[in-house]
Amino acid sequence: MDLLNTLVDKGLRRELPTREEALAVLATSDDELLDVVAAAGKVRRQWFGRRVKLNYLVNLKSGLCPEDCSYCSQRLGSKAGILKYTWLKPEEASRAAAAGVAGGAKRVCLVASGRGPTDRDVDRVTRTIETIKEENEGIEVCACLGLLSDGQADRLRTAGADAYNHNLNTSEETYGAITTTHTYADRVETVQQAQAAGLSACSGLIAGMGESDKDLVDVVFALRDLDPDSVPVNFLIPFEGTPLAKEWNLTPQRCLRILAMVRFVCPDVEVRLAGGREVHLRSMQPLALHLVNSIFLGDYLTSEGQAGQADLDMIADAGFEVEGAGTTTLPRHRADALADGCGTSAEPAGCGSHGGGGGCGPCGGHGEQEPVAVADADADVPAGRTEANGAPRTDLVAVRRRGAGTDLAPNA
């Protein structure tokens, strides 16, 4: 296909595709899917070889969030039967992190529900970061605490944080249909605060909320403009008890096309396969490794993932290798720019140009609003449609009952 040849050439040069080209990737047929994966795989291998970075989530504070994000099981009005607990002590968080590190994780992502941290919360997290760093030499730490206030990013950086995650989640045009208690602009500002403090920015999206192809392209192009180093791609986990519980809009094929589009738009960025991969990609997860260079190991914030050993076996069986602690994830041009404290790119290539900025996961909220469908006439899959086989795979949505906040061993 001329389209794919053009996109490969652009990806190898770190050149931005057009929006029409990105939309065309999402519009390809299932007959063309392997060609799409192979083309995006060439771009992935150019910048990251066959390495897969492992990341491990630690949910520092679960549930009881005052925000009304419709997708989130931690929203205060959520009826989902998730774990609810207040802040883990630094030593508890460090023990949880150690399980992931022992399983091969190179980055630990510390996540807390809520609108944003108080200064006292930042004190707690800085002590946790320091404890984890003392006990795990060379480990990367990413914080995901919500909207930041002035000076908080600097304090996290001083404590040893390497990165900060705050996802844009969906397009600016449809953001208000998903969340009303904060704005899209609030999220952009927090990512920029993290970058200004010298933290590596991690910001991504959630697919499967009923959005159109145009929405997906808009949010990925907005991310490219922000230029994060890591772009996590989450696939909505439709928890019962949340407003989007009936939004089963994804097939494995559509998930792969979305990942390929993200890789073409952000060729040299750490693209991370995040929450929902087991639910929506299922047996086609190994194909996604040709598109992404980073995954989460084991469980997520409030849901269980496949066994950690199964993740490692999948990587090996697909012919990839776990990225070692002594390897720099980002290509040299991005890593050098990040080390120099560069916050903006001098080149016009957006997310394909520098390291200015693991997402970790969506934050939560409250409220009893009705389910929101944000699809329009451009949507490839209409809002509310179930899986191609006619039945949503609700059996694959498992609430986390182990690891942080419990007495049971974590999955890593």
Helix axes of 33-48 and 252-265: crossing angle, nearest 10 degrees? 40
Sign of the dihedral defined by the CA atoms of residues 101, 144, 207, 267, in that order: negative
Q: Which residues are annotated as a binding site for [2Fe-2S] cluster?
A: 109, 142, 202, 272
Residue among 369, 87, 92 nearest 242 (CA)? 369
Q: Which amino acid is at 358?
A: G
In this structure, what token pair is assigned to residue 276?
């929902």
Residue 363 known to be catalytic: no
Among 69, 255, 342, 363, which one carries the catalytic annotation?
Answer: 69
In this structure, what token pair is assigned to residue 27?
């519009």
Residue among 251, 189, 184 nearest 219 (CA)? 184
Q: Which residues are annotated as a binding site?
A: 65, 69, 72, 109, 142, 202, 272
d(CA 79, CA 76): 9
Among 14, 44, 65, 75, which one carries the catalytic annotation?
Answer: 65
Neighbouring-strand partners of residue 369: none
Among 224, 272, 277, 400, which one carries the catalytic annotation?
Answer: 272
Sign of the dihedral defined by the CA atoms of residues 76, 77, 83, 85, in that order: positive
Sign of the dihedral defined by the CA atoms of residues 202, 335, 22, 346, in that order: positive
Helices (H), 197-307: 213-226, 252-265, 277-280, 285-288
Give the up-direction half-sphere exposure of residue 83: CA atoms within 13 A in the CB hemisphere. Answer: 25
| Cα→Cα distances 26→77, 130, 205, Å | 34, 43, 16
In this structure, what token pair is assigned to residue 396?
């694959």
d(CA 294, CA 283): 18
Among 14, 75, 109, 124, which one carries the catalytic annotation?
Answer: 109
Among 107, 124, 187, 202, which one carries the catalytic annotation?
Answer: 202
Residue 109 known to be catalytic: yes
Residue 202 known to be catalytic: yes
Among 44, 107, 124, 142, which one carries the catalytic annotation?
Answer: 142
Residue 65 known to be catalytic: yes
Residue 360 known to be catalytic: no
| Cα→Cα distances 119→18, 94, 122, 148, Å | 42, 21, 5, 10
Q: Which residues are annotated as a binding site for [4Fe-4S] cluster?
A: 65, 69, 72
| Cα→Cα distances 285→240, 282, 364, 389, Å | 24, 6, 26, 18
Residue among 71, 165, 151 nearest 111 (CA)? 165
Question: Looking at the annotation, which residues are catalytic?
Answer: 65, 69, 72, 109, 142, 202, 272
